[in-house]
Chain A
Amino acid sequence: MGDHHHGPAKGLSRWLFATNHKDIGTMYLWFSFAMFLVGGAFAMIIRAELFQPGMQLIRPEFFNQMTTMHGLIMVFGAIMPAFVGLANWMIPMMIGAPDMALPRMNNWSFWILPPAFLLLLATMFMEGGGPAFGWTFYAPLSTTYAPPSVTFFIFGVHILGLSSIMGSINIVATVMNLRAPGMTYMKMPLFVWTWFITAYLLIAVMPVLAGAVTMMLMDIHFGTSFFSAAGGGDPVLFQHVFWFFGHPEVYIIILPAFGVVSQIIPAFARKPLFGYDSMVYATASIAFLSFIVWAHHMYTVGMPIAGELFFMYATMLIAVPTGVKVFNWITTMWRGAMTFETPMLFCIGFVVLFTIGGFTGLMLSIAPSDFQYHDSYFVVAHFHYVMVAGAVFSMTAAVYYWLPKWCGKMYNETMGKTHFWISFIGFNVTFFPQHFVGLAGMPRRIPDYALQFADFNMMSSIGAFIYGASQLLFLYNVIATIVGGKPVSDEKVWEGAEGLEWTVPTPAPFHTFSTPPQVR
């Protein structure tokens, strides 16, 4: 590479051969938004079918594919790549690095994602249809009784797992080796810290997921019996392996969201984050605990009482570091000079709604009462409060917060606030009633339901359509900003924002920190 300064390549090759962390971050973000719309469309089909009891629009087999694909696409296609994109954009700028440590691998980890999801989506057009066994793909539903397309699903999971592993290794290598002089670990912004820990979680559990799907592949094609009782295997083993991956996975989704919120709240409260050190230790504790609580997803499989108690207490323990975080955010806002721009609104929405999701999580952690809640709509309501109001709200906040820095133009604040309020109301109208139908006994993943659940389900569906439509407003606002937003030139776009990313020019030039800054 020559030592002259060069800008981005022209045309398609800029993106295809991209090694610049900002370009790759942008691609991740757009890809994940596209997947968010696809997964959202599936959710709209689900809610349209559930608008009234009885079968109106689609067949039950297709309904099962919709619930499965909605979960898979949203978890692996929308939320995870969105945070990886954000990490690509922000981590080098936050720690004063010129780029990610491994730019070529970075390109590869992005570009294998679209084929993986094309493969996954293509299964829906294959004989027997796509995966219809739920996003948790429990054996034997996903082995003995699976459609033939399951092999493509397995291959897709292998590829996206590989992409996540490479992305995480890149993040760990960047954070460990490319920090600017003076940027000690305990001076790193919390978004960097949460991603650093998340990357370790991904490196630890993505191979477990790969192992689980490999065992499925072997059971289906090579005559082994890991999960088949007839050959001496055990379907319950699948659930243990899956949730050993699956529980850290839900923290992989939420920890970067914690990081985002910890960046934005201090900026708009105009106060430094309260309890920085405790935030770091709380994040690490949550990551550690995530490895020893997996069986709380499977209280009903027939565990010994000692096991139920262990997983119950360990799960409740997670409320302690999470509570530390919530109180720290509230204390940061306390007596701050707060203003309520769109990113801040989404963060406050996050704190309120995520806390509700946390409390329902505590209810679910109680083993004896979980037997009632298990596989009901109460669970659906719980994880949408933490996944949507948690991960998606914080992601939206992040886009509004950093968009002016990325493209040098200000979004339309009125439209942003409208987006927040429609989202907030739509979200709650969708998911709050699901607590009630769940407690009353409506099971999840069913295309039809008993008549007494009709009113709440109709509310849920109306809320879902409102929430879905509000995302189109978001898309419009972002495009309108990029195309013709009001230019901003201040390095520090937000008055209260702190951090190295606000010391570079706006919009952020193609190359930043070619000479590392000195951090004091």
Chain B
Amino acid sequence: MRLFGDNPVALTVAKMAAVVVLMFSFVFVVMVPLYNVLCDALGINGKTSGQRYQAASIQVDEAREITIQFIATNSDGMPWEFRPSQTMMKVNPGAVNDTVFLARNPRPEAMVAQAIPSVSPARAAEFFHKTECFCFNNQPLDGLESTEMPLQFIVDQDLPRDIRTITLSYTMFDITEMASGAVASR
């Protein structure tokens, strides 16, 4: 390289500095997106697939019955009353199912919440398709207001035969500060 002429030390340093810059950007540009892509693609971490569900041909498999259990949890410091309207449902693969979750803000001031889903067993995550879910958006509630939050889902016909029960769990986080654009100040 002409830039460094006859100074081999400067050339070595430039190469090493380039590696440093590369590795620092690697964390942000590669590791973080790759992690999300992998979790998505493999359905690990109980994350349901972000890909749009293509209902090839809706064939309801009447012979199989899958038990779906619903769990609602509040994250640390979240005051909302948050529960599923029914804790258990029996569904057939391929059928479109509807249910609602109930939430109430017991505080006098308005709050914004975000529900984060998780599916167990993790293997079932890629076969659990949510066509409509309150977790797709954040949930603003005025003080003392309550609401019904809809959920619509289809269990895939290709769900492995050994899975008979799927648990869908939501954790509700208070994101009022984040949503208002106010940065948490310490």
Please choose the segment from A10-18, A207-215, A260-268, A466-474 that sits at the chain B interface, where 4 or more of its residues have CB less than 8 A away: A207-215
A203 and B20 contact, Cβ closer than 8 Å, known pairs A208-B27, A234-B35, A304-B122: yes
A220 and B116 contact, Cβ closer than 8 Å, known pairs A207-B27, A304-B44: no
Contact in complex: B183, A221 (CB < 8 Å): yes
Task: For B16, give its contact among A169, A223, A240, A304 (CB under 8 Å).
Answer: A169
Contact in complex: A173, B122 (CB < 8 Å): no
Is A289 an interface residue when CB atoms closer than 8 A count as contact? no
Contact in complex: A211, B28 (CB < 8 Å): yes
Contact in complex: B178, A230 (CB < 8 Å): yes
Task: Kindly state the separation between the CA atoms of A211 and B75 in the bound complex, as whole angstroms.
Answer: 27
Task: For A220, give its contact among B16, B27, B32, B186 (CB under 8 Å).
Answer: B186
Is A78 an interface residue when CB atoms closer than 8 A count as contact? no
Beta-carbon contacts under 8 Å, B31-74 to A: 31-32, 35-36, 39, 42, 44-46
Contact in complex: B24, A211 (CB < 8 Å): yes
Is B175 an interface residue when CB atoms closer than 8 A count as contact? yes
Contact in complex: B44, A303 (CB < 8 Å): yes
Contact in complex: B35, A204 (CB < 8 Å): no
Beta-carbon contacts under 8 Å, B109-132 to A: 114, 116, 122
Is A177 an interface residue when CB atoms closer than 8 A count as contact? yes
A231 and B45 contact, Cβ closer than 8 Å, known pairs A102-B9, A207-B20, A223-B183: no
Chain B contact-residue range equals 35 or more
Contact in complex: A177, B186 (CB < 8 Å): no
With CB as the reference atom, state the residue of chain A lying closest to B29: A211
Is B88 an interface residue when CB atoms closer than 8 A count as contact? no
B20 / chain A contacts, CB cutoff of 8 Å: 165, 169, 203, 206-207
Task: Kindly state the separation between the CA atoms of A179 and B70 in the bound complex, as whole angstroms.
Answer: 68
Is B3 an interface residue when CB atoms closer than 8 A count as contact? no
A212 and B183 contact, Cβ closer than 8 Å, known pairs A229-B116, A230-B116: no
Task: For B23, give its contact among A101, A172, A205, A232 (CB under 8 Å).
Answer: A205
A125 / chain B contacts, CB cutoff of 8 Å: none
Beta-carbon contacts under 8 Å, B153-186 to A: 171, 173-175, 178, 181, 183-186
Is B19 an interface residue when CB atoms closer than 8 A count as contact? yes
Main secondary structure of the interface of A (DSSP, over half): helix
Contact in complex: A101, B9 (CB < 8 Å): yes
Min CB gap B38→A, angstroms: 10
Task: Kindly state the separation between the CA atoms of A236 and B32 in the bound complex, as whole angstroms.
Answer: 11
Task: Kindly state the separation between the CA atoms of A205 and B19 in the bound complex, as whole angstroms.
Answer: 10
A231 and B114 contact, Cβ closer than 8 Å, known pairs A204-B19, A302-B44: yes
Contact in complex: B12, A241 (CB < 8 Å): no
Is B108 an interface residue when CB atoms closer than 8 A count as contact? no
Task: Kindly state the separation between the CA atoms of A173 and B7 in the bound complex, as whole angstroms.
Answer: 11
Contact in complex: B175, A172 (CB < 8 Å): no
Min CB gap A486→B, angstroms: 41
Number of interface residues of A (CB under 8 A): 41
Is A237 an interface residue when CB atoms closer than 8 A count as contact? yes
Is A151 an interface residue when CB atoms closer than 8 A count as contact? yes
Contact in complex: A173, B12 (CB < 8 Å): yes
Task: Kindly state the separation between the CA atoms of A468 and B89 in the bound complex, as whole angstroms.
Answer: 62
Contact in complex: A302, B45 (CB < 8 Å): yes
Is A446 an interface residue when CB atoms closer than 8 A count as contact? no
Min CB gap A145→B, angstroms: 8
With CB as the reference atom, state the residue of chain A lying closest to B114: A230
Contact in complex: A172, B173 (CB < 8 Å): no
Task: Kindly state the separation between the CA atoms of A234 and B21 in the bound complex, as whole angstroms.
Answer: 25
Min CB gap A244→B, angstroms: 7
Task: Kindly state the separation between the CA atoms of A302 and B39 in the bound complex, as whole angstroms.
Answer: 11
A237 / chain B contacts, CB cutoff of 8 Å: 31-32, 35
A234 and B45 contact, Cβ closer than 8 Å, known pairs A173-B9, A211-B28: yes
Task: Kindly state the separation between the CA atoms of A202 and B19 in the bound complex, as whole angstroms.
Answer: 11
Contact in complex: B35, A240 (CB < 8 Å): yes
Question: Can you list, as one digit per residue, whether each of A141-162 has a CB less than 8 Å from chain B (1) or not (0)?
Answer: 0001000100100000000000
Task: Kindly state the separation between the CA atoms of A223 and B42 in the bound complex, as whole angstroms.
Answer: 28
Is B8 an interface residue when CB atoms closer than 8 A count as contact? yes
Task: Kindly state the separation between the CA atoms of A417 and B166 in the bound complex, as whole angstroms.
Answer: 64
Beta-carbon contacts under 8 Å, A103-141 to B: none
Ordered by A's residue number, 24 sampled pairs between the chains whose C-beta atoms are within 8 Å are A102-B13, A165-B20, A169-B13, A169-B16, A176-B12, A177-B9, A203-B16, A203-B23, A207-B21, A207-B27, A208-B23, A208-B26, A211-B23, A211-B24, A211-B28, A221-B183, A222-B183, A226-B32, A229-B171, A230-B174, A230-B178, A237-B35, A240-B35, A244-B31
Chain A residues close to B by CB (< 8 Å) = 101-102, 144, 148, 151, 165, 168-169, 172-173, 176-177, 203-208, 210-212, 215, 220-223, 225-226, 229-232, 234, 236-237, 240-241, 244, 302-304
- 9 tightest A-B contacts by CB? A211-B27, A230-B173, A207-B24, A207-B23, A169-B16, A223-B183, A173-B12, A101-B9, A177-B8
Known: A169-B12, A237-B31, A303-B44. 9 other contacts (CB 8 A): A102-B13, A168-B16, A173-B12, A207-B24, A211-B31, A230-B116, A231-B114, A234-B36, A240-B31
